[in-house]
């Protein structure tokens, strides 16, 4: 994960898994009822039908009473284990997908993060990079550079590959050609080193159904001073004063406005103390007024450099950037 918060997030997932266990009990109860029905049907075929057939044969003098008892007993001995096997297989198959996901989370390998404080950042250089996917060229000849505190806007139409470009910068994927350098070091596809330089602001941030503090810190331990500074920089101080840090934001942030959700995403990025913030269509889902407010919060912060990708933005907002680069031309 970009902010190296695997442990607190996994802890949260484990708690959710415990809640899932309660739901699983209900599932098992339902499965038990179904199993009972299956066994009942099996008993009909393993006892009643063989008994009736055997009784008819005995009545006709074709078999004796001992043979009838043997037929019924053998039918039970055969049908019951088969029924139990299929019942267990059904239960295992119904729960295995859920357990596989939990087990994958529990067995993650934590990345050895190198951002003990703040990495020294002097310059990011993107030199003539191109990217191909499935033998199809997504983009090529992308060039730009950014220095500490600079604000750069990358304009490109929808579908150009803007999100892919940001994934290249953080080292999630490797360019087909060209170089991405930070402080003169080539970091093509080097997630372990590259991601420590970047915070990320999504168009639709993921919000946990927890309190406000957890959604900002993502479960990491921070000091009150650090939290207060970030709240002020992200424009969340008034919300916290009004609602408190223990305010339940609701599922998918249903108790928050779109602007407040974006400010939480900004606070997460600032709390991570990364020198470069990547904004992926960060305000495209907001109205003009809110978009301007978010940009004022984001772009007036001298502590961080910002690289925003967008396909549409107002002239007033464009004037707040140091560089505007038209991609795809």
DSSP 248: B
pLDDT value of residue 117 = 47
Mean pLDDT to the nearest integer, 145-150: 95
- Chain segment 190-205, per-residue pLDDT in tens: 998 898 899 998 888 8
Domain boundaries, the chain: 6-106, 124-326
Local confidence band at 51 (pLDDT 50, 70, 90 cut-offs): confident
Residue 307's beta-bridge partner residues? 152, 278
Q: Tens digits of per-residue pLDDT, 200-233?
A: 988 888 899 999 999 999 888 899 999 999 999 9
Do residues 203 and 284 touch, judged by C-beta distance below 8 A? yes
Q: Are 124 and 186 in contact (CB under 8 A)?
A: no
Q: Is the pLDDT assigned to residue 115 strictly greater than 70? A: no
What is the reported pLDDT for 173?
A: 94
Between 160-174, 240-254, 282-296, the lowest mean confidence (pLDDT) is in 282-296
Predicted TM-score (pTM) of this structure: 0.66
Which residues are registered as beta bridge partners of 199? Answer: 277
Choice between 185 and 4, residue whose per-residue pLDDT is larger: 185
Assign a CATH topology to domain 124-326: Rossmann fold (3.40.50)
Whole-angstrom CA distances from 263 to 8, 154, 233, 308 are: 21, 21, 9, 15
**Nearest of 70, 80, 69, 68 to residue 44 by alpha carbon:** 80
**Which 8-state DSSP code applies to residue 211?**
B
Assign 144 to helix, strand or coil. Answer: strand
Is residue 89 scored above 80 in pLDDT? no
* pLDDT tier, 254 (very low <50, low <70, confident <90, very high otherwise): very high
Q: Are strands 198-201 and 151-155 parallel, antiparallel or unpaired?
A: unpaired
């Amino acid at each position: 994960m970009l902010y190296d918060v695997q442990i607190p997030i996994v802890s949260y997932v484990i708690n959710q898994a415990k809640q899932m266990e309660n739901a699983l009990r209900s599932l098992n109860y339902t499965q038990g009822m179904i199993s009972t029905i299956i066994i009942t049907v099996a008993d009909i075929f393993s006892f009643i039908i063989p008994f009736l057939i055997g009784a008819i044969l005995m009545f006709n003098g074709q078999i004796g009473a001992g043979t009838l008892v043997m037929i019924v007993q053998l039918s039970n001995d055969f049908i019951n284990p088969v029924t139990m096997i299929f019942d267990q297989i059904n239960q295992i198959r119904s729960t295995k997908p859920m357990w596989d996901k939990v087990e994958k989370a529990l067995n993650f390998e934590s990345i050895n993060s190198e951002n003990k404080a703040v990495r020294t950042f002097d310059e990011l250089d993107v030199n003539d990079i191109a990217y191909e996917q499935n033998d199809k060229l997504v983009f090529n000849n992308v060039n730009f550079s950014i220095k500490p505190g600079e604000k750069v806007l990358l304009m490109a139409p929808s579908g150009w590959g803007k999100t892919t470009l940001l994934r290249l910068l953080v080292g999630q994927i490797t360019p087909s050609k060209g170089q991405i350098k930070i402080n003169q070091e080539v970091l093509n596809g080097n997630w372990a080193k590259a991601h420590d330089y970047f915070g990320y602001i999504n168009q639709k941030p993921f919000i946990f159904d927890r309190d406000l503090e957890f959604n900002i810190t993502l479960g990491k331990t921070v000091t009150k001073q650090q939290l207060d500074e970030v709240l002020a920089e992200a424009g969340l101080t008034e919300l916290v004063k009004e609602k408190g840090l223990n305010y339940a934001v609701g599922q998918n942030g249903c108790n928050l406005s779109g602007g407040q959700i974006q400010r939480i995403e900004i606070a997460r990025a600032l709390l991570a103390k990364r020198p470069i913030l990547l904004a992926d269509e960060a305000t495209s889902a907001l109205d003009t007024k809110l978009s301007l407010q978010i940009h004022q919060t984001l772009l007036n912060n001298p502590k961080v450099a910002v690289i925003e990708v967008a396909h549409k933005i107002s002239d007033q907002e464009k004037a707040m950037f140091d560089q505007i680069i038209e991609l795809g031309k």
